[in-house]
Structure formats: structure tokens, C-alpha cells
């Protein structure tokens, strides 16, 4: 019987690095490097040829980095290669992440012709000063131009990313960003709060760090997001994700519900046939070694070596997913969604009742009103969502 599968393709190139970014991405790489990288991606995709016909691919997410840096011919090549190896569902959701300022009419038409049917545009803020402060490459006008061009090219499923808790961001500035985004009526809005990651230029900049709004203000921004977007008909289906009916991101739902996915590219991770393996593990050490030796990622020889490392990891099919960590993941991801987790689904996957494993913690939080059981489903209540990080940490299992 054929099973469903999702594919993630990692494009690790950006024009310049944003100050808060700790994703695996490289700035200033040449077109030649991108070409070589796409070639290597196709080799990696080919590794799955022997088992590909057991699956139907229902979603593809080309993420980054800044995938929209790639011109239409490279995106077309990647998707054509995927189609040669895998069978795609007839309404397969195919998303490309895009940075305003990198989308042009011709590129958008090319993406459309290649089968891309969803765009995810990283705006972050409508405040040009704030964008500059974060090291973003675009301003709000470029977002407007990109969004309008995407609509003209026929993209009727667009996500816009916005961020709260940014250095120097006032509630007024955040509300203005939301209102301006709502004027464009995108089908989906992701609203994340900034997480300061160790080692980023932001974390090392005391002036910017001093401008971070206090938690209370960030919390208020979160509440405002719920109210404003809710009033405009967006359903909050995950803690940070809002969609008009029927436009939930199907690819992310696969992650959050424990479905199977395979990632291609240097920063990709997979959950495939009960095993979790990550291209990034080991590769980061490898890149560090190269950098210490004064080498650059863009060297073609290094790229090939990098990919040899990846395929070696894949062949070894690293680290089986242990039962406990799968249960933890099921709870962490499922509880982030407003519909929560299903008792029946848990029992089917793990051959245990959820209360057998998590009885004390569930009973405690349900009694306190932080969680609720509705029919077959267990959810975080509004009160629970406010302290979700603390609650989710209690779902880590003691494996001794």
C-alpha cells in the first residue's frame, strides 16, 4: 500500500545574514555554487529512487536560507527531478520561501509554471527602520511590490511571516505591521516572537539587546495578534500560525502530527520509516573544520566533500527514533496545535494508553485548568498556552 510522504528541500543561500539568524545559511555565494548545490541536491534525491514508488508525495517545502534567490530555472530543475523520482499527489502543496526584494515577475511566472502553488514571504515588520536594524535586505515597499507581483502571477495561497519582540519595537509599530499585512489579505500569517540565539550578531550587540521589549510587552503583542487576526477571520490553528479556512499549511501539519518526511540539502532533517536522521549533524562540525583550515564552503571540491559526508550519514541511517522520544515529540508538536492530541492516535502509534505514560502530568494540568480533555482530544487551554513552554517541558520522559 502506498503511504504519504512530505519533502523538504533546504536552500542555504542568503544575500546577507540577518542579525538574529542562526539558521544554516551562507551569504554572498556565486551562481556557480548554487548550480553545483542544486546538482548535489538532485544526487541526494536520487538516493531514494529504490523506495520512492512506495510513497505519494503530498507536500513539498523549499525552505532556507532564501530559496527565492534561486532563479526560476533552478527551482524548475529541482521540482522536475523530484517528479522523476517520486509520484506527486495531484494537489500536492508546493511552497517556496521568499524574501521580499528577490521576487520578480519572470521568476514568479517560472515558479508557477514549475508547479509552485504556495509562497511564504518573510516580511517580519512593516517598519523600515526596524528592518534595517535587523539587517533585513528589504523595505516595506519591496514587500508590497513582491506581494502584488505574486498575486498577479496567480499565487492565491500566500503566507506572510511577521515577528514580535524585536529590538525597539513598540506595540504601535507591531499593530501597524499587522494592519498593513491584513490590508493584503494573505491566506496565512505566521507570527513568531523573536528568540535571541546565542552567538548571533544580535546576541553580541549590547545596544540592540538593551532595546528588546520586556516579556510583558511581548505577551501583549501575542494577545493583540490573536484578537486582530481572529477578528479578520484567521483561525489560530497552532500557537504562532493563523490561516483562513482551508489554508492551514499542510506541510507544517505533517511535522506537528508526526507524519513522515524526508529532507534534502545540508541543513535538512528527516523522519522516515520510523527513523530520524539529520544532514546537519556532523556537517556543521565539518564546515567548522573547513573554516578553521581557512577553506570556504563555496569551493566546489568542498561542496562535493560535504555531500559525501551527507550521503555517508544517510547510508548509515543514523539514530533510530526511540519510543520515548517519539512519544515526547508526539506530545510537544501535537499540543502546539489548537486541536491538541488524540488519545486514539497515541494508543495506535505506541500501543499504550496516553494516561499509562502521562497520567500524573495530564491529571495535574487538567485539574489546574491548564489543559482539557474534550472527547478523544487533549488540548492546552488558553491559560495553558500562556505558559506552554513550562507545561511542554513536563512531557519529557525519564528514560531511566
- When the beta carbons of 67 and 213 are compared against ligand SF4, the nearer one is 67
Minimum separation from the CB atom of position 42 to ligand SF4 (A) = 22
- When the beta carbons of 10 and 236 are compared against ligand SF4, the nearer one is 10
- When the beta carbons of 121 and 178 are compared against ligand SF4, the nearer one is 121
Minimum separation from the CB atom of position 244 to ligand SF4 (A) = 25
Minimum separation from the CB atom of position 89 to ligand SF4 (A) = 28
Minimum separation from the CB atom of position 66 to ligand SF4 (A) = 5
Query: Which 63-92 positions form the footprint of ligand SF4 (CB under 6 A)?
Result: 64-66
Query: According to the 3-state scheme, what is the secondary structure of the chain?
Result: CCEEEEEEEEECEECCCCCCCCCCCEECCCHHHHHHHHHHHHHHHHCCHHHHCCEEEEEEEEEECCHHHCCHHHHHHHHHHHHHHCEEEEEEEEEEEECCCCCCHHHHHHHHHHCCCEEEEEEECCCHHHHHHHCCCCCHHHHHHHHHHHHHCCCCCEEEEEEECCCCCCHHHHHHHHHHHHHCCCCEEEEEECCCCCCCCCCCCHHHHHCCCCHHHHHHHHHHHHHHHHHCCCEEEECCEEECCCCCCHHHHHHHCCCCEEEECCCCEEEECCEEEECCCCHHHHHHHHHHCCCCCCCHHHHHHHHHHHHHHHHHCCCECCHHHHHHHHHHHHHHECCCEEHHHHHHHHCCCHHHHHHHHHHHHHHCCCEEEECCEEEECHHHHHCHHHHHHCCCCCCC
For ligand SF4, how many residues bind (rule: CB under 6 A)? 10
102 contacts ligand SF4 (rule: CB under 6 A) = no
146 contacts ligand SF4 (rule: CB under 6 A) = no
Minimum separation from the CB atom of position 101 to ligand SF4 (A) = 10
- When the beta carbons of 150 and 337 are compared against ligand SF4, the nearer one is 150
Minimum separation from the CB atom of position 84 to ligand SF4 (A) = 28
- When the beta carbons of 21 and 45 are compared against ligand SF4, the nearer one is 21
Query: Which 5-34 positions form the footprint of ligand SF4 (CB under 6 A)?
Result: 14, 17-18, 21, 23, 25
- When the beta carbons of 10 and 118 are compared against ligand SF4, the nearer one is 10
- When the beta carbons of 99 and 125 are compared against ligand SF4, the nearer one is 99
Residues that bind ligand SF4 (CB under 6 A): 14, 17-18, 21, 23, 25, 64-66, 99
Amino acid at each position: 500500500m502506498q503511504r504519504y510522504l512530505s519533502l523538504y528541500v533546504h536552500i542555504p543561500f542568503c544575500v546577507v545574514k540577518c542579525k538574529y539568524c542562526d539558521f544554516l545559511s551562507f551569504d554572498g555565494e556565486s551562481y556557480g555554487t548554487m548550480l553545483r548545490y542544486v546538482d548535489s541536491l538532485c544526487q541526494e534525491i536520487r538516493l531514494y529512487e529504490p523506495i520512492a514508488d512506495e510513497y505519494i508525495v503530498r507536500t513539498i517545502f523549499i525552505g532556507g536560507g532564501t530559496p527565492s534567490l534561486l532563479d526560476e530555472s533552478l527551482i524548475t530543475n529541482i521540482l522536475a527531478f523530484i517528479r522523476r523520482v517520486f509520484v506527486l499527489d495531484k494537489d500536492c502543496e508546493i511552497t517556496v520561501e521568499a524574501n521580499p526584494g528577490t521576487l520578480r515577475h519572470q521568476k514568479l511566472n517560472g515558479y508557477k509554471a514549475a508547479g509552485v502553488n504556495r509562497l511564504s514571504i518573510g516580511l517580519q515588520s512593516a517598519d523600515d527602520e526596524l528592518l534595517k536594524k535587523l539587517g533585513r535586505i528589504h523595505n516595506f515597499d519591496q514587500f508590497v511590490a513582491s506581494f502584488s507581483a505574486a498575486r498577479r502571477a496567480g499565487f492565491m495561497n500566500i503566507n506572510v511571516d511577521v515577528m514580535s519582540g524585536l529590538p525597539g519595537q513598540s506595540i504601535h509599530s507591531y499593530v501597524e505591521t499587522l494592519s498593513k499585512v491584513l490590508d493584503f489579505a494573505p491566506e496565512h500569517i505566521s507570527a513568531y516572537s523573536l528568540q535571541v540565539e546565542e552567538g548571533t550578531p544580535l546576541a553580541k550587540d549590547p545596544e540592540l539587546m538593551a532595546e528588546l521589549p520586556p516579556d510583558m510587552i511581548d505577551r501583549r503583542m501575542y494577545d493583540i495578534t490573536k484578537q486582530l487576526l481572529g477578528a479578520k477571520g484567521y483561525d489560530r490553528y497552532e500557537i504562532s500560525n493563523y490561516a483562513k479556512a482551508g489554508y492551514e499549511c499542510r506541510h507544517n501539519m505533517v511535522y506537528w502530527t508526526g507524519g513522515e518526511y524526508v529532507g534534502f540539502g545540508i541543513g535538512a532533517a528527516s523522519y522516515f520509516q520510523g527513523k530520524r536522521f539529520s544532514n546537519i549533524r556532523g556537517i556543521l562540525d565539518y564546515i567548522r573544520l573547513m573554516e578553521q583550515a581557512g577553506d570556504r564552503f563555496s569551493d566546489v571540491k568542498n561542496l562535493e566533500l560535504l555531500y559525501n559526508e551527507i550521503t555517508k550519514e544517510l547510508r548509515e541511517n543514523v539514530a533510530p527514533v526511540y519510543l520515548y522520544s517519539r512519544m515526547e515529540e508526539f506530545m510537544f508538536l501535537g499540543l502546539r496545535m489548537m486541536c491538541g492530541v488524540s488519545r486514539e492516535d497515541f494508543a495506535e502509534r505506541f500501543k499504550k494508553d496516553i494516561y499509562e505514560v502521562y497520567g500524573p502530568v495530564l491529571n495535574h494540568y487538567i485539574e489546574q485548568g491548564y489543559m482539557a480533555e474534550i472527547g478523544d482530544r487533549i488540548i492546552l487551554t488558553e491559560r495553558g498556552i500562556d505558559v506552554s513552554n513550562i507545561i511542554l517541558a513536563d512531557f519529557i520522559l525519564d528514560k531511566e
